[in-house]
Every structure is written in C-alpha cells, then in structure tokens.
Amino acid sequence: MKQFISVDDVQSIHSLVTQALAYKANPLKDAGLGNGKKIGLLFLNPSLRTRVSTQVAAKNLGLETIVFNIDKEGWVLEFEEGAVMNGSTVEHIKDAAPALGSYFDILCLRSFPSLQSKEDDYAETIIQQFIKYAGVPVVSLESATLHPLQSLTDIVTISEVLKSSQTNATKKPKVVLTWAPHIKALPQCVANSFAEWMNAWGEAEFVITHPEGYELDEKFSKGATILHQQSEALKDADFIYVKNWSAYNDYGSMPAVNGDWMLTNERLQQTNNAKVMHCLPVRRNVELSDDILDGENSIVTQQAGNRVWAAQAVIATILNSNS
C-alpha cells in the first residue's frame, strides 16, 4: 500500500480488518516494526479521536511520532498553482510538502473541505497536492470528501460485533446509514467514505436513508439501496450508522427537512435490535438522543476505541509495503 486516501488504495479490506483485530488482541506484537522510522501527523483542522488514536497506533509500532498543527503552530498554506503570494498565504504547498516529506517516512494529513466549491473539494486538491509533492506515503486523517480511517474502523467494529454475536452467517447483516439533523453544514466525508467502503466490502445489505435534497455523490453511493423514508429503511436493520451531512447537489446547503430524523429508542423497535454507530463527535439530542447513546444498543465507544487498531493496521501495511 503506497498511500491510504480511499478504499481504492486497499488491496484487501478483509486483511486489514483481520490485522486490526489482531492488534486489538495484542497491541505490541509488532512493537519494533517502525524502529528508526518517523511519522508526521499534520493537522489543518481540529481533531480528537483521530489525533490521539493515530499517535497511539504509531507508538505501538515503535515509530517516532511528531504532531504538527500547521494552522496554529505554523502558518497559512497556498494551494493554487501559479499564485502571486501577496496576500495572507505564507508558504506554498509545493515548498512545504517536500520539506515535510524529507523529514518523515509517512505523512498523515487532516484537511477539511471548504464547502464553498464543490469542484475544488471533490478534486481533493489539498491532499492530492500533498501526495504529489511530499514524496512519501500519505495517510488521510480525513480529507475534503473521505475519511477512510473511520470507515475501516467501522467495518472492523461491525465485523467484531458479528463475530461475538455468532449470528447465523448465512444471512448478510443489514446496515443502514441514516442522515441525522445538525445545526450547521457538515462535510459529506464520513457518509461518502462509509458508503464507498460498504459497497467495496460487499458483506452487508447496505441501505442509505436521507431526506430529499441530501443525495450523496453517486460515485460513492452507487450500489446501495437509497430510501427517503427512515422508518422503511430501519426495518430489520442490524446496524444503524447515524450521521449528518450537508447537501452534495446544492453544495454545502441544508435543505429544509420534513419530519423528525433524530433516532430514538422508540424507532429501534422496528429494527432487529440494531446496534447504533456514530463516528463522533455527536450533538446529543440533536443528531442522536441521549436514550440511544446511553443505552445498550450504542456501540459508539467500542467504535471509537477501534480507531487505534484500524490506524495501526494501515500504518503497518504501509511500512511493510515500502521497506
């Protein structure tokens, strides 16, 4: 694996999941793999779980880990080719990325979308420029349109639950991604990425439900059943992934929504005692009710904990591919 930007970079989801669960069972089993190697975690935006879990994962593999909040500890980068830099940007990605690349064996980058220009965001200009100029493997810590470490974690978590519940393996589990309300416009990253990974994984019946106007880019959602009635979608679900996103078509907007889309325990009645997932952070009682988050069906803490093992599997795979 030369980079980890989307599911397309992955040879075998199954292998990554197996490796992640092996690290969960034995975190330090490859404690010497990263000896003498360095990994840089670069942030253009805030982060909690991704920041901490990726550091833990890297340390478990013996890598020297350096965190750099480019936006706060450095300065504003320029990404436009040919820019005359007489404004607020201080350094061009073409100069910063090769310098950073020369210091590290692996670079990880978080950069959110602007939600202003669909074209720029969906071209993944920022992370693509990093990849182009850094000269070392790049791992996405969430980019403009995707969040692959989260999606790998999600499949690890679903696999883990299925294993422990020893359900009859002849029927694929039903996994529903449901849109949820929020007070501000959020990126489509987590939803895009989850859809992309679920479709590539193929080991679930995958349904997406959202209000009209919130259609995802078909590039990612194609292959899923898409429903506009949440109640219809939830029927017999084994897993419900709850997430808000803003509109893709009328880019970054928040079209008015009919009805109440916040999941509650009452709605879980229609499901097959579904486990409820969320990537966090979650706005309680806006996106998801207290009764679900504090109840027995929520697996959000297990899911958040698995971020470490997913990251560890990805970093180890890159180290093994490039040594």
- Per the CB < 8 A criterion, the answer to whether 146 and 11 are in contact is no
Q: Where are the beta strands (DSSP E) in 187-263?
A: 205-209, 225-227, 239-243
The three-state secondary structure class of 240 is: strand
- 286 contributes a contact to its own copies by CB under 8 A: yes
Rounded to whole angstroms, how far apart are CA atoms 277 and 177? 9
- Name residues contacting its own copies, limited to 1-30 (CB under 8 A): 27-28
229 forms part of the interface with its own copies (CB under 8 A): no
Q: What is the DSSP letter of 41?
A: E
Counting contacts by CB under 8 A, is residue 296 touching its own copies?
A: no
Measured from the CB atom, the residue of 90 and 123 that comes closer to its own copies is 90
| Strand pairing class (239-243; 174-179) | parallel
232 SS3 class: helix
Residue-level length of the chain: 323
User: Cβ closer to its own copies: 95 or 212?
Assistant: 95
Q: Is 295 near its own copies (CB under 8 A)? A: no
Residue closer to its own copies, measured from CB, 38 or 228: 38
Which residues are CB-neighbours of 101 under 8 A, at least 6 positions away?
107, 133, 134, 135, 136
CB of 215 to its own copies, least distance (A): 25
| Nearer to its own copies (CB atom), residue 43 or residue 241 | 43
CA gap 216, 187 in Å, rounded: 11
Q: Between 202 and 281, name the residue whose CB sits nearer to its own copies.
A: 281
Residue window 51-90: x/- pattern of binding to its own copies, with contact defined by CB under 8 A:
xxx-xx--x----x-x-xxx-xxxx--x---xxxxxx--x
Q: Which residue in this structure is represented by tokens 């013996």? A: 62
For its own copies, which residue of 212, 236, 266, 290 counts as binding (CB under 8 A)? Answer: 290
Q: Is 282 among the residues that bind its own copies (CB under 8 A)? A: yes
Q: Which residues pair with 298 in a beta bridge?
A: 276
**Residues binding its own copies (CB under 8 A):** 27-28, 31, 36, 38, 40, 43, 46-49, 51-53, 55-56, 59, 64, 66, 68-70, 72-75, 78, 82-87, 90-92, 94-96, 98-100, 102-104, 183, 280-286, 290, 293-294, 300-301, 304-305, 308
